[in-house]
Amino acid sequence: MSDYQEFHRRSIEQPEAFWGAEAARIYWHKPYTQVLQYDNPPFRQWFAGGETNLCYNAVDRHLAERAEQAALIHVSSETGAEQSYTYRQLYEEVSRFAAIMQAQGVGKGDRVLIYMPMIPEAIFAMLATVRLGAIHSVVFGGFASASLATRIEDAAPKLLVTADAGMRGGKVIAYKPLVDEAMELAGAAAADKVILVNRGLAEAPMMKPGRDLDYATLREQHWHDRAGVEWVESNHPSYILYTSGTTGKPKGVQRDTGGYAVALASTMEYIYGGKPGETYFSTSDIGWVVGHSYIVYAPLISGMATLVYEGLPIRPDPGIWWQLVEKYRATVMFSAPTALRVLKKQDPEWLHKYDLSSLRALFLAGEPLDEPTAEWISGELKIPVLDNYWQTETGWPMLTVCNGVQPLPTKLGSPGLPVYGYNVKLLDETTGEEVPVGEKGVIAVIPPLPPGCMSTVWRQDERFVNTYFSLFQDRKVYSSFDWGVRDADGYFTILGRTDDVINVAGHRLGTREIEEAVSGHAAIAEVAVVGVHDTLKGQVPQAFAVLRDPSVLKDPEKKAALEKEVISKVASQLGAIANPARVYFVNQLPKTRSGKVLRRSIQALAEGRDPGDLTTLDDPSGLEQVRDAVQS
């Protein structure tokens, strides 16, 4: 057995010994009485009785050793702002912001809704909230007022923190009018107070007397005020965060405190290899789970500097991210396949312009890492490129290669092995039995879930149990609702969501398999495959592809020839059963704000149905393109 297998086995067979040792990575104000309490499955309590605080672990704890070291580096390619905060400065900003919140009546257990662009104050607000034992709900900045309103209704926050505006691609997006609209929609659940960080981007935002407060004014007033840390029990909620809404209505994931801190701290050694004093660069947004875990909490808990970036990956030019890696000597970088595909379309010289020798590894998560993209970026960077498979629900990776435990090879198209703490199994959807090597099944976790995973659906325990733990009638097994396969070495490959599985004349196919075959064609930049109702076969696959060179589309002959080529490529790779009935060419795919392809909406349009809940849709033109394509 390899070292890693042994390590993983110990985490599953002796969870108390394993996590008891890991718990020493964080500061406990009061020791816990039990590592794991599991008498009410699927609910579990990690480190019950222990008292700690996320903000203390992320900020105060470092003051003794690294007060003058950089903690937060903010760069905005939208406004040109660039500023670095030491741990001491971070402590001052955060404890002052916490004092401001306290003065507005925020205390333990209260909710604070944060609707902010990627500016330092957004992170100060998150840390200030957990400092007080309050619970943050960060809503991705730029979500429309309806999405914001449902999240306000769900959390019923005491306070809402926002800014006058965000900026995207040089365009100012005023936030305050959206907040006002959402507060109106939320009715009784609306926040008592709104704190506005005025960046001077939007024209004089309307301030409602008695409700809306200006952050700069408050900061002056409270200049010398510092709020202390509120110690909370390990299972006290730290935040609520909604899933991306790719498959339907987003779910409000509730996270604990102690278990989350311990899990994140462990991943910095075992997965990311980041060390105190180094720079961690995650290109995500604080509105997503990657932002919570790997922009804010894990790097700071680990005493690193976190690089916070506002802007697009290609502005002012496609070298911007690499320029920042060079400038701040980032050792760990975390991004998403969707962003990498954007960069892949640019001149490769942008990657060669900068000294990237500080980087030890690149991590990607959020959606399948297609083989052409993985091959390209690992060839360019010549460092390990690691695919992380996880979910908002888990808070940290479920499948990857843990190079910090034992360096093991990666395999193209596979995130790797079950991460320590996760007893991942592939189960047959109907029988619930484990499927043999090479056969497809539902990615499931045998409980208890490890520390840091979701505690429940906010205020809906029943929905939590019914949604995640009832796929198999007799057993409380956690279902990911993703579909995968495992090879003889134990490496997993994600085949798509269980909702997206295509059934062609009784053969079950994952959308991912067909997508990989299509994107293997040199002309294709990106593709989504969906199953479309067919009276004869039940379902047939249809592909919606974005071309590397869209000029081909102007020539109907070339277009028809390309469609044929793609279809025969899939046939040669997967067999005729997987053949897309049609390949439609579009300029853009409909995606969620977090960059995930909205297959359910594409499928609906292809079947002539209503595209469903679109509150998380990014750019409506992607959907229009699909509509036009199927109607032409």
Nearest distance in Å: CB 249, ligand ATP: 7
Nearest distance in Å: CB 291, ligand ATP: 11
Amino acid sitting at position 265: A
Q: Among positive and negative, which fits the CA dihedral 246, 247, 252, 254?
A: negative
With CB under 5 to 8 Å by kind, the binding choice for 469 among ligand ATP, Mg ion, none is none
Nearest distance in Å: CB 253, ligand ATP: 8
Give 50 or 366: the residue with its C-beta nearer to ligand ATP.
366
Which residues, other chains included, contact 422 with Cβ-Cβ below 8 Å and sequence gap of 6+? 394, 398, 399, 445, 449, 450
Nearest distance in Å: CB 387, ligand ATP: 5
Nearest distance in Å: CB 606, ligand ATP: 19
Among 266, 414, 455, 480, the residue binding ligand ATP under the rule CB under 6 A is 480
Contact pattern from residue 491 through residue 530 relative to ligand ATP, giving x for each residue in contact according to CB under 6 A and a dash for the rest: ---x--x---------------------------------
Nearest distance in Å: CB 336, ligand ATP: 9
Of 561, 440, 572, which Cα lies nearest the Cα of 511?
A: 440
Give 243 or 493: the residue with its C-beta nearer to Mg ion.
243
With CB under 5 to 8 Å by kind, the binding choice for 497 among ligand ATP, Mg ion, none is ligand ATP
| Site stretch for ligand ATP (CB under 6 A), options 35-43, 189-197, 382-390, 454-462 | 382-390
Cis, peptide link before residue 316, omega less than 30° from 0: yes
Of 522, 532, 619, 595, which Cα lies nearest the Cα of 369?
A: 595
Of 574, 560, 573, which Cα lies nearest the Cα of 632?
A: 560
Would you state the torsion angle of the CA atoms of residues 57, 261, 134, 247, taken in this order, to the nearest 10 degrees?
150
| Full DSSP string of 517-566 | HHHTSTTEEEEEEEEEEETTTEEEEEEEEEESSGGGGG-HHHHHHHHHHH
Give 78 or 393: the residue with its C-beta nearer to ligand ATP.
393
Number of residues that bind ligand ATP (CB under 6 A): 25
Do 373 and 339 meet the contact criterion of CB atoms below 8 Å apart?
A: no
Contact pattern from residue 412 through residue 451 relative to ligand ATP, giving x for each residue in contact according to CB under 6 A and a dash for the rest: ---x------------------------------------
Q: How far apart are CA 532 and CA 542, in angstroms?
A: 7
| Site stretch for ligand ATP (CB under 6 A), options 53-61, 111-119, 246-254, 257-265 | 246-254
Residues in region 209-268 near Mg ion by CB under 5 A: 243
With CB under 5 to 8 Å by kind, the binding choice for 521 among Mg ion, ligand ATP, none is none
With CB under 5 to 8 Å by kind, the binding choice for 136 among Mg ion, ligand ATP, none is none
| Site stretch for ligand ATP (CB under 6 A), options 20-28, 238-246, 466-474, 538-546 | 238-246
Told to check if 391 binds ligand ATP by CB under 6 A, we report: yes
Nearest distance in Å: CB 600, ligand ATP: 9
With CB under 5 to 8 Å by kind, the binding choice for 387 among ligand ATP, Mg ion, none is ligand ATP
With CB under 5 to 8 Å by kind, the binding choice for 255 among Mg ion, ligand ATP, none is none
Number of residues that bind Mg ion (CB under 5 A): 1
Do 283 and 336 meet the contact criterion of CB atoms below 8 Å apart?
A: yes
Give 266 or 391: the residue with its C-beta nearer to ligand ATP.
391
Which residues, other chains included, contact 555 with Cβ-Cβ below 8 Å and sequence gap of 6+? none
With CB under 5 to 8 Å by kind, the binding choice for 115 among Mg ion, ligand ATP, none is none
Q: Three-class SS of residue 272?
A: helix
Give 93 or 516: the residue with its C-beta nearer to ligand ATP.
516
Among 388, 455, 456, 542, the residue binding ligand ATP under the rule CB under 6 A is 388
Nearest distance in Å: CB 601, ligand ATP: 12
Q: Among positive and negative, which fits the CA dihedral 567, 568, 573, 574?
A: positive
Told to check if 293 binds ligand ATP by CB under 6 A, we report: no
Told to check if 245 binds ligand ATP by CB under 6 A, we report: yes
Do 183 and 190 meet the contact criterion of CB atoms below 8 Å apart?
A: yes
Nearest distance in Å: CB 493, ligand ATP: 9
| Full DSSP string of 50-88 | -EE-HHHHHTGGGHHHHTTSEEEEEEETTT--EEEEEHH
With CB under 5 to 8 Å by kind, the binding choice for 245 among Mg ion, ligand ATP, none is ligand ATP
Give 47 or 242: the residue with its C-beta nearer to Mg ion.
242
Do 282 and 264 meet the contact criterion of CB atoms below 8 Å apart?
A: no
With CB under 5 to 8 Å by kind, the binding choice for 389 among ligand ATP, Mg ion, none is ligand ATP
Cis, peptide link before residue 42, omega less than 30° from 0: yes
Do 509 and 539 meet the contact criterion of CB atoms below 8 Å apart?
A: no
Q: Among positive and negative, which fits the CA dihedral 481, 338, 593, 281?
A: positive
Told to check if 601 binds ligand ATP by CB under 6 A, we report: no
Nearest distance in Å: CB 243, Mg ion: 5
Nearest distance in Å: CB 81, ligand ATP: 28
Nearest distance in Å: CB 257, ligand ATP: 20
DSSP 187: G
Other Cβ atoms within 10 Å of 430 Cβ, number: 7
Do 288 and 244 meet the contact criterion of CB atoms below 8 Å apart?
A: yes
Told to check if 482 binds ligand ATP by CB under 6 A, we report: yes
Residues in region 378-407 near Mg ion by CB under 5 A: none
Task: Give the CA angle between residues 29, 30, 31 to the nearest 5°.
Answer: 120
- Determine the distance from the C-alpha atom of residue 386 to the mean position of all C-alpha atoms in its chain, rounded to a whole number: 15
Amino acid sitting at position 66: R
With CB under 5 to 8 Å by kind, the binding choice for 365 among Mg ion, ligand ATP, none is ligand ATP
Residues in region 336-375 near ligand ATP by CB under 6 A: 365-369
Burial label, 560 (beta-carbon count in 10 A; 0-12, 13-18, 19+): exposed
Nearest distance in Å: CB 415, ligand ATP: 5
Put residue 310 in one of left, alpha, beta given phi > 0 → left and psi -120 to 50 → alpha: beta
Nearest distance in Å: CB 473, ligand ATP: 22
Which residues of the chain form contacts with Mg ion (CB under 5 A)?
Answer: 243
Which residues of the chain form contacts with ligand ATP (CB under 6 A)?
Answer: 243-248, 250, 365-369, 387-392, 415, 480, 482, 494, 497, 594, 596
